[in-house]
């Protein structure tokens, strides 16, 4: 949301989007899967996160 707000405000990035994406990929590849956006760690592994996932699976 912050990025969309900045774009709508006319703020231009000094770093091209392709370079940002490449940098993000390089950092992500160095991280263990449990720390990436895999649903294996972080908030997803909390009791509330696990309960929410269970509720979604059950419908």
What pTM was estimated for this model as a whole? 0.53
42: CB partners within 8 A, 6+ apart: 35
Taking the CB of residue 56, how many other CB atoms lie within 10 A of it? 8
Q: Which residues of 6-42 are buried (b: 16+ CB within 10 A; e: fewer)?
A: eeeeeeeeeeeeeeeeeeeeeeeeeeeeeeeeeeeee
- Overall size of the chain counted in residues: 59
pLDDT given at position 37: 74
List per-residue pLDDT tens for the chain, 59 residues long.
Answer: 888 898 899 998 899 989 999 999 999 899 988 787 777 778 888 999 999 999 999 98
Phi, psi of 39 (to 5 degrees): 80, 10
Domain ranges of the chain: 2-58
């Amino acid at each position: 949301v912050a990025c969309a707000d900045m774009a709508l405000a006319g703020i231009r990035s000094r770093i091209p989007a392709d370079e940002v994406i490449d940098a993000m990929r390089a950092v992500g590849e160095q991280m263990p899967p449990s720390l990436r956006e895999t649903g294996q760690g972080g908030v997803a592994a909390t009791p509330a996160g696990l309960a929410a996932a269970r509720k979604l699976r059950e419908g």
